[in-house]
Structure 1
Amino acid sequence: MKSIILYSSSNRQGNTAQSVQQLAQQLQADSLYLDDYDIKDYCYNHSNSEDDFRALFRAVLNYDHIVFASPVYWYAITPKMKAFFDRITDFMDDETLQPELRRLRDKQFSILSNSIQETAPRCFTEVIQKTCEYLGMTCREQIHHQYPYQENE
């Protein structure tokens, strides 16, 4: 099974990156730092279709297992991760892109999170889980790493 870890964090080398590196070794997975890409917010008129999202999403479709990794920021995923999920709507809105979107039905997903708490809040995991399940994906696992508070994380 070919896996990729999509991750986002305000600190490229922080706790999330450490968790991603550990899991990537375990799964022999590729990893991709979303914050390196220009992913604009969803727009009803699709005026942002020239950013990096569509090419990035198409590349992700080549994997069987997608891990979404984010620190817990105020009970939520990072803004870049949220933009990534919102932009999937581009493929729903355009009938010519819908066949590509349907490829997600054969995919598995996992959630990798970290915070100072023992577990990720349900509102955090539900955003990813409910979106992926709506798209027909199967949940493989949820992993949460607890890290002590650090001033610059």
Structure 2
Amino acid sequence: MTDKASVDIKREDFKFINDALVDVFDRILRIEESELRKSQFKDVTINELHLVHAITLHEHKTTTAVANELHLSKGSLTSSVNTLVRRGYVMRIRNQQDRRVINLGLTSKGRLLYRAHDAFHSQLVKSFLNGMDEDDLPLVKKAFVNLRNFLDEAARD
């Protein structure tokens, strides 16, 4: 590795981290997909699940804010939102300050889906942090900031 910002790392450590990232990403998606198929939320795809998660429980985000957060075109977002509205997970809410703006909110069914997905994420975080102490957290957070920055940069290209 020749990048000045990178740490000298042994080839086997690099391979371990690379393989672990790929494996974890793949397994999370597979588990989410599998759990959806076994649940009362069989009619929701992984992408729709993540759309519900982006809308959140209490905020009423604009369609533009959700599209930007998920790096979707407004057309793609509209199509997915239409499906989730039809299935009873999402509702469109006219913005009271600017009637031209549409906000998105979750129905009670959508909030239930959100909470189930959030519980899985909580289990992931707890298992990830298991055995670590407070002194480890700055390094873990730094690694995720670095990864997120890389992904943000890649998404812009």
Report which of the two has the higher share of helix.
2
The answer to whether TM tops 0.5 is: no
Report which of the two has the higher share of strand.
1
Greater relative CO, 1 or 2 (CA 8 Å, sep 6+): 1
TM-score normalised by the chain length of structure 1: 0.30
- Please identify the structure whose Cα radius of gyration is greater: 2
TM-score normalised by the chain length of structure 2: 0.30
